[in-house]
Amino acid sequence: MDFPRALFVLFLFLAFYLALQLYLFFRIHGYLHNRIQARKSRRVLCFALSTFFLLMLFPLAWRFLHGYRFPAPDPWFVRGLFAIFAVWGFGSTGSTLILLGYDFFCRLAPSFAPRPAATPDFQRRDFLKKSAGVIAAAPFLISGYGVFLGRHRFQIDHFDLPLNGLSSALSQFSIVHLTDIHLGPFMPAEELAAYVEAVNRLKPDVIALTGDFVSTSQDEIAPCVNTLAGLQARYGIFACMGNHDVYARADGELTRLFNQNGVRVLRNDAASLEIGNTTLNILGIDDLRWGRPNLSRALDIARRNPGEVRVLLSHRPEVFPEAARKGLGVVLSGHYHGGQIKLAPEPDSLSIARLITPYAEGLFHLPRRRLSASGPGTGDAVLFVGRGIGITGLPIRINCPPQIAHLTLKRA
């Protein structure tokens, strides 16, 4: 990922959001001054309005200063404030844009009218105002759904990964992919346990975990590992680290505890699985920005027992072009959560992630380097980017439900 570009996009969105908040504040403030005649009541309402808008800035400041590290032992107030902020943030942004559109229409409409009416149509004006008010309330309903329901209702999505020259032993080989768990205030261990049960019901051959196991705290390590230790797969469970794991300084302990509990963590490393009469290599590298990734080292280890297919676990998907050039068949990644908020459910729908990376969500293909004159190693490399199951930033998901990805290797 071009990290300065990501920061620039996030800064633009923040500036845009604050500008809309300022406009909405002065619009409501002006409405109160015009409609409330009693001076004392007007002062009380304006003070309440100012307090509320300042309170809605508190989660932003907290997020930048503390991440999702909430005060112990009972963080319910801050957690509740984040939920309210998520509803307000998306809802007020949508409503303000609708109101701006309505104001623009009202200013522009007279210039297109053939001539002014002899008598103003007050009923029509009143109808338009009420309609605009109803439409402006819709974003709050959508954001409320995204906060309280949308981020909990996960989907199990099935994908075929086509590979040229795949042997019968690996055809129909299944991998369940989980990413971006972000165990913490908005992903308690009890909720994660439901994902573990759903994954186990799929009875996968391999489970791949591609990082961001915790949000911001080392206190989240033990409950995350203890819960994920319940995962079951025929040939094993493999993981790589994500950026949150590294800058929470949890990657070392996560690696140690996972390895003790049957989850093999691949940090610039590789594993070879004997599947029938063939071999499958699973490689893993550290986070591309916060870790010390070394794909060449992982490939060197894999060559000691070369496999028919090589699957790379990388938290960030931007390694895909390099991986394809070096002949890897499959890359599994996450990091972007699909954007969390999208205009439509389709994988290529507009979201903030689409402005940061070409690999926001879904399946991607690139020609891979030919390893031999024919057979395995020819054809396209396949990248799958999962939406993840946790959240970061706002605790909200709209048109972007949490995802358990059930991937099946198929002969192309």
* Of the candidates 356, 350, 353, 411, the residue with the CA atom closest to the CA atom of residue 387: 353
Contact 77, 85 (CB under 8 A): no
Which two structure tokens, joined as six digits, stand for 325? 């050039």
The Cβ of residue 259 has, within 10 Å, a number of other Cβ atoms equal to 12
Report how far Cα 183 is from the mean position of its chain's Cα atoms.
14
Q: State the amino acid at position 179 in one-letter form.
A: T
Predicted model pTM: 0.89
Report the pLDDT value the prediction gives residue 114, as an integer from 0 to 100.
60
Instruction: Give the right CATH number for 155-411 from 3.90.650.10, 3.40.50.2300, 3.60.21.10, 3.40.50.10790.
Output: 3.60.21.10
Contact 147, 83 (CB under 8 A): yes
List phi, psi (to 5°) of 162. Answer: -80, 130
User: Residues 6 or more apart from 2 whose CB is under 8 A from it?
Assistant: 356
Alpha carbons 266 and 240: distance in angstroms, whole number: 5
Bridge-partner residues for 346, per DSSP? none
CATH 3.60.21.10 maps onto the chain at 155-411
Specify the pLDDT at position 155: 96
Q: Is 1 exposed, middle or buried (0-12, 13-18, 19+ CB in 10 A)?
A: middle
pLDDT at 78: 73
DSSP letter (8 states) at residue 71: P
Splitting the chain (412 residues) into consecutive groups of 10 residues, what average pLDDT does each group show? Answer: 68 91 92 88 93 90 72 67 91 90 75 58 60 79 94 96 93 97 94 98 98 92 97 98 94 97 98 96 96 96 95 97 95 96 91 92 87 52 97 92 98 88
Please answer whether residues 340 and 390 qualify as being in contact, where contact means their C-beta atoms are separated by less than 8 angstroms: no
